[in-house]
């Protein structure tokens, strides 16, 4: 399994301030898939939303794998927090729609 923070430490610098002169002027659709509620992925999502003036749709597909009711409840709570944070990010495109697809997958650690 890949841990972005450990395997790609250079990606930790993905902050909006570091990309003040960058625009994704032709980016209309983004699809992200995996365990995305990490700091690096959140920064990347924020960057795409904030720097894509013609973005129409961002699909975020993530997984929950907990079978234990308490763990499942905690995972759902964390997922809801993740969704709320992403929905609060500034968007360069007034048409940008963020679509969340959260699935149960007991093997999600393999994605």
Q: What is the pLDDT along the chain (111 residues), one digit of tens a residue?
A: 444 445 445 554 555 556 666 789 999 999 999 877 788 888 889 999 999 999 999 999 988 887 788 888 888 888 888 899 999 999 999 999 999 998 887 776 544
Residue 9 lies in a domain: no
Q: What is the pTM of this model?
A: 0.74
Residue 17 lies in a domain: no
Query: Is the torsion defined by CA of 64, 68, 74, 80 positive or negative?
Result: positive
Residue 19 lies in a domain: no
pLDDT score recorded for residue 4: 43
Query: Is the torsion defined by CA of 38, 6, 109, 32 positive or negative?
Result: positive
Domain interval for residue 32: 24-110
Residue 73 lies in a domain: yes
Residue 30 lies in a domain: yes
- What backbone torsions phi and psi does residue 58 show, to the nearest 5 degrees? -125, 120
Taking residue 61's Cβ as centre, other Cβ atoms within 10 Å add up to 15
Residue 82 lies in a domain: yes
What is the number of structural domains in the chain?
1
Residue 12 lies in a domain: no
Residue 6 lies in a domain: no
Q: Which is nearest to 43 in space by CA: 61, 19, 66? A: 19
């Amino acid at each position: 399994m890949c841990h972005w923070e450990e395997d790609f430490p250079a990606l930790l610098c993905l902050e909006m301030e570091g990309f003040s002169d960058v625009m994704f002027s032709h980016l209309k659709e983004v699809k992200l898939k995996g365990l995305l509620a990490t700091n690096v992925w959140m920064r990347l999502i924020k960057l795409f939303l904030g720097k894509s003036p013609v973005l129409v749709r961002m699909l975020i597909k993530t997984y929950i794998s907990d079978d234990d009711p308490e763990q499942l409840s905690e995972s759902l709570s964390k997922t809801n927090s993740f969704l709320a944070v992403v929905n609060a990010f500034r968007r360069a495109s007034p048409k940008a729609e963020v679509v969340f697809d959260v699935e149960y997958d007991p093997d999600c650690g393999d994605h």
